[in-house]
Structure 1
Amino acid sequence: MINFFKRTFNILSKYEKLLSLYVFFLILISLFIELIGIGMIIPIIGILVNYETLIENKYINYIYFLLNQPSKESAILYSMSFLSLVYFIKVMFFIHLTERQAEFVKLVNRNMSKKLLNYYLNQPFLFFTEKHSAELIRNTIGEVDLFALALRDLITFILEVVIISGLLLFMFFYKPLTAIFFIAALVFLGIVFNFFSKKKIQDFGEKRIEFDRFRLQNLQNLISGIRDVKIYQKENFFKEAFLENNKYLLSVRKTMNIITALPKYLIEFVSIIVLTLIVISLVFNGTPSDDIIITLGIFAAIGLRILPSLNRIYINAQSLSFSFPMFDNLYNEFNNTTNSNNDTLESPKVFKKLIIKNLIFSYPGTSREVLKNLNIEILNGQCIGIFGESGCGKSTLVDIITGLININKNQIFINDIDLSNIANNWKKNIGYVSQNLFLIDDTIEKNIAFGEVNIDKERLDRAVSGASLSNFISSLDNKEKTHVGELGKKLSGGQRQRIGIARALYKDPQIIVFDEATSALD
């Protein structure tokens, strides 16, 4: 738990740390308000039970004369009015505290998503070939949301611990032996419950991450390959794969819900036992009935406040233990500082030539050389085709030339400048048409301009004309503002590829690379 505190604080920004300290300051104030509210119970019960004896207390007697020696009825009116005022302030204060907590959690959630997405976007291309998309989506959306919930649970945990500690300390000064007995019973219950459940809860947390990833992966496979799934009539296969992992995930959640519900009943049982023993002890020690009523009133008031808090503490502690594997996963991602945007030189403004010298390349984790001792020279204005069998490295070479895959120094040169020094800036000069064209679920013009907010109409028209899309677009009701559907499902293969060509032309690049990009064209 301490390690969780440290790691959480380390990944927060400066402003988030300041806001968290402000929230903890409010938590301390909340303890003060709680103690005033509980402390008011003593004089109120005293007034009701034995007003004459109560005013003999030197502190109460001072207030008694300060209020001009009120009658019992007036004293009750004053006390209840003050208690109502205290609880009104408490309500308003806790509304503010809840707002600050929610603002803090929202801020951390937003910034962590942004930070994690920035981290992924700054990774080299091969990072995405080695990671499953389901894992990246789960981390950026699902796991960050779960971390925000865990952070909320952490704040609630701290709040309740502080309040309970203050109330138990109050109880200790009022009835030391009784408080010690009550605290010992709660600590023993916590230790026993933690001993039997902690390891299982963390194991469930790890299984939740695994089953959640498999479930999302199954669903992605089903939706992405729906054409093949239906043609080969494999709906049941993919459905059962999803339902199997969903069953295991829900089973983990069910077990966690059962474990989470147990502390409430155990705490209630222990509290009743403790209260029974307190009454028996007071009666057998000859304690006056008035003192017994006051003591029971105090402990009942404290108990009514403590019992829900204890239940929340156990629930939040279990929730945090369940979240530890998720947090370790995110923490490791945040501590990875790999950045692929590390150009040391500017890319040449005018491309003259590209030279490949003895290029050797193997994918990470493999010994097979996809490319070996490759030598090519490409001059500005040339049109070159690369042929070869499947798997011989054509697409890999394209990824290297376009700067997607980083290679060692002194193997590829652009105008005599080492590509390894300008790989990121070099992409500005490249137009790329893939064999597996990616289209966003938006309009034709936004797919051609691809990521530009302010679309240049003149460049758009040139690109459309150059890709032979003019007739097709003219036949559409909404022209270039026609939506293409998810991944271009509303278009034919040839139309999608022409949009890819128009996208490359819109960029007005110095080099255009086609990776089997005309296979669907007539």
Structure 2
Amino acid sequence: MAKFKKLPKNSVKLLKRTLKYFAPYKMSILISLIAMAVVAATTGASAYLIKPALDDIFINKNSEYLMLIPFAYFLLVLAKGAGRYSQNYFMTFCGLKVLEQLRNELFDKIICLPLKFYEEQQVGMLMSRVVNDVAEIRGSLPAVVKGIRQFLTMVALLFVVFYQDPYLATWAVLVLPLALFPFIHFGRKLRKLGKKNQVLISAMTIFLQEKFSGIRVVKAFANEEGEKAGFRVENSRIARLALKQTIVGQMSSPIMELIGATGIGLVIWYGGSQVIAGQQTAGTFFSFVAALVMLYDPVKELTSANNSLQKALAGAERVFEILDSPEIVVEQDGTQILEEVHEVSFNDVTFSYDKTGQPALKNININIKEGEKVAIVGPSGAGKTTFVNLVPRFYEQQEGQILINGIDSRSLTLKSLRKNVAIVSQDAFLFDTTIADNIAYSSEGCSKEAIENAAKAAFAHEFISEFPNGYDTVVGERGVRLSGGQKQRLTIARALLKDAPLLILDEATSALDSESEKVVQQALENLMKDRTSLVIAHRLSTIITADRILVMKNGAVVDEGTHESLLANSSLYQRLYTLQFESHEELL
């Protein structure tokens, strides 16, 4: 599997890159910041209220304060609750919108990447990047805002403690710099563990996607126990790493409490002696202690916010590896629009899947006229599928030109080019939706009548009508609820409805039994009528009537002509024909 080029890990740059996605929601962020300031101010005010509560109510017996202070405390709690709710709501709103945008951007890029990219990656890994990694980024701004809120709360509480007793406050906060150790040390560790966790979740997604997709093979080999053991290994790796994350994440809290206890212990010793000596009132002292206790809490929460931020940045690294990598580029589009296909020409085309490997196609020179039916035959690995895959630009040739109506195919827009090409391959892929939706895939706005006409021409209408829900029948993942012949007829109906002038058939009947092949072949004849057709044939009997047959070997066209001329003059075609028909006679 190809590795992504890793981007620089500079946390500040990565954070700036991530926070740019929150820029469109400035108003929501502003409201959240105002709410955050309210929470910080009310926290400090709550600590300050302890002084008049003790001194004026419990010591001085002031009945007026007995009415005012509880009411003031109630208002502070109400304001604090409203502020916290507003902040959390608007931060969640921003996070969800960014989550939506990032997933859209990531999917938009991945879906437009060339086929070569998909051949080098695992589907489960891509799914994990879109679902899991992006979800982690959602917490980046809330983590930053939470950190700012805790900082402002610290400022408000510091004001209270310094206002009450500057000398004692100075000694109390001397221990705060020690809090930087868990903040930085555990933050770095969590970043690394977060990245590992995303990799392991991706591996788990790959494992599940592969095993569930290949469930028939698993059951055919009675290997359920083996797969259970394999899953337990993957699951155990995630559990062990999650435990490490918990240990690292929770270690910061007791350390912060120990640092706080040291400061509070000094305050109680010194402040208590002052109260005993009559140099300070009990209310002032307890208000000071309350503010100090509250002060250490946001310091702890800062560490928690940093932990969340590091997890978010770990997810961001993996997402931006795809979005920002200069090596992962979408298919290059042309500018000219293709309206119809009159001629397809290969001029000295050479193509290799690997730049350092042997060419899969070598110096191909072929001209295909409008309405011509051209068949392609040859042994396995001859380059037949590669040849037809270059026409819709699933791959780009390294040398030569492919001209459509005399225009280099690379100059055409991909959409207009591919809209003019219909493909039916041996892999009859259907989406997990209704039969009607599968037939009408990408054919927007087509009528029910048009769908049924396409199905009738593909000899599919009869079996579709037998289902209780008819055209509204859901076919299951990859069409699992249908037989091979039924799936293939639906893909032919889909191609018929597309009504493209250029048709590519890539061994469309090779995986079918004789009875199904006969029906599908009739449907294919309807499909090829009045169209330019490129047909890769596994069974030579299906292409005897082709206008021209290309015989390929080792990436080159070694012979071409009609069936009769090739039987007379092409030794390779003669051998293929003899092997196939002798085998057929033996079966009879």
User: What TM-score, normalized to structure 1?
Assistant: 0.89
Counterpart among 437, 451, 455 of residue 464 in structure 1:
455
Helix, strand or coil at the partner of 1:291: coil
Counterpart among 370, 376, 379 of residue 360 in structure 2:
370
CA distance in structure 2 between the partners assigned to 1:383 and 1:474 by the alignment: 33
Give the AA of the match of 1:361. F
CA distance in structure 2 between the partners assigned to 1:48 and 1:428 by the alignment: 83
Alignment RMSD (CA, Å): 2.5
Counterpart among 85, 102, 107 of residue 95 in structure 1:
85
2:89 aligned with 1:79: no
Helix, strand or coil at the partner of 1:513: strand
After superposition, the C-alpha distances for 1:491-516 in whole angstroms (9 at most, x for unaligned) are 11111111111111111111111111
Which residues in structure 2 correspond to 1:102-113 (within 5 Å)?
A: 102-113=92-103
2:247 aligned with 1:247: no
Displacement of 1:286 in angstroms is: 6.9
Displacement of 1:6 in angstroms is: 1.6
CA distance in structure 1 between the partners assigned to 2:151 and 2:355 by the alignment: 49
Helix, strand or coil at the partner of 1:327: helix
Counterpart among 411, 416, 430 of residue 421 in structure 1:
411
Change in Cα spacing, 1:419 to 1:4, as seen in structure 2 (3 Å) is closer
| Greater displacement, 262-271 / 455-464 | 262-271
Helix, strand or coil at the partner of 1:480: helix
CA distance in structure 1 between the partners assigned to 2:342 and 2:185 by the alignment: 71
| Greater displacement, 146-155 / 110-119 | 146-155
2:19 aligned with 1:9: yes
Helix, strand or coil at the partner of 1:512: strand
Question: In the alignment, is the contact (CA less than 8 A) between 1:409 and 1:420 conserved in 2?
Answer: no
Give the AA of the match of 1:165. V
Change in Cα spacing, 1:491 to 1:166, as seen in structure 2 (3 Å) is same
Change in Cα spacing, 1:444 to 1:283, as seen in structure 2 (3 Å) is closer
Helix, strand or coil at the partner of 2:376: coil
Counterpart among 432, 436, 444 of residue 441 in structure 1:
432
CA distance in structure 2 between the partners assigned to 1:160 and 1:188 by the alignment: 17
Change in Cα spacing, 1:300 to 1:441, as seen in structure 2 (3 Å) is same
Displacement of 1:50 in angstroms is: 4.8
CA distance in structure 1 between the partners assigned to 2:428 and 2:503 by the alignment: 15
After superposition, the C-alpha distances for 1:215-270 in whole angstroms (9 at most, x for unaligned) are 11111111111111111122233322222121111111112112222333333333
CA distance in structure 2 between the partners assigned to 1:300 and 1:427 by the alignment: 73
Question: In the alignment, is the contact (CA less than 8 A) between 2:350 and 2:400 conserved in 1?
Answer: no
Question: In the alignment, is the contact (CA less than 8 A) between 1:403 and 1:423 conserved in 2?
Answer: no
Question: Which residue number corresponds to residue 19 of structure 1?
Answer: 28
Change in Cα spacing, 1:295 to 1:74, as seen in structure 2 (3 Å) is closer
2:497 aligned with 1:506: yes
Counterpart among 248, 266, 270 of residue 277 in structure 1:
266
CA distance in structure 1 between the partners assigned to 2:320 and 2:159 by the alignment: 37
User: What TM-score, normalized to structure 2?
Assistant: 0.79
Change in Cα spacing, 1:307 to 1:247, as seen in structure 2 (3 Å) is same
Question: In the alignment, is the contact (CA less than 8 A) between 1:407 and 1:420 conserved in 2?
Answer: no
Question: In the alignment, is the contact (CA less than 8 A) between 1:359 and 1:412 conserved in 2?
Answer: yes
| Greater displacement, 440-449 / 123-132 | 123-132
Give the AA of the match of 1:47. D
Give the AA of the match of 2:429. F
2:470 aligned with 1:479: yes
| Greater displacement, 403-412 / 270-279 | 403-412
CA distance in structure 2 between the partners assigned to 1:291 and 1:483 by the alignment: 79
Helix, strand or coil at the partner of 2:344: strand
Give the AA of the match of 1:400. L
CA distance in structure 2 between the partners assigned to 1:246 and 1:517 by the alignment: 40
Change in Cα spacing, 1:404 to 1:266, as seen in structure 2 (3 Å) is same
Gaps of 5+ in 2: 1-10, 518-588
| Greater displacement, 155-164 / 284-293 | 284-293
Give the AA of the match of 1:91. G
Give the AA of the match of 1:178. L
Displacement of 1:121 in angstroms is: 2.0
Change in Cα spacing, 1:397 to 1:303, as seen in structure 2 (3 Å) is farther
Displacement of 1:137 in angstroms is: 0.6
Displacement of 1:145 in angstroms is: 1.1
Question: Which residue number corresponds to residue 135 of structure 1?
Answer: 125
Helix, strand or coil at the partner of 1:215: helix
Change in Cα spacing, 1:50 to 1:288, as seen in structure 2 (3 Å) is farther
Question: Which residue number corresponds to residue 38 of structure 1?
Answer: 47
Q: How many correspondences in the alignment? A: 500
2:224 aligned with 1:215: no
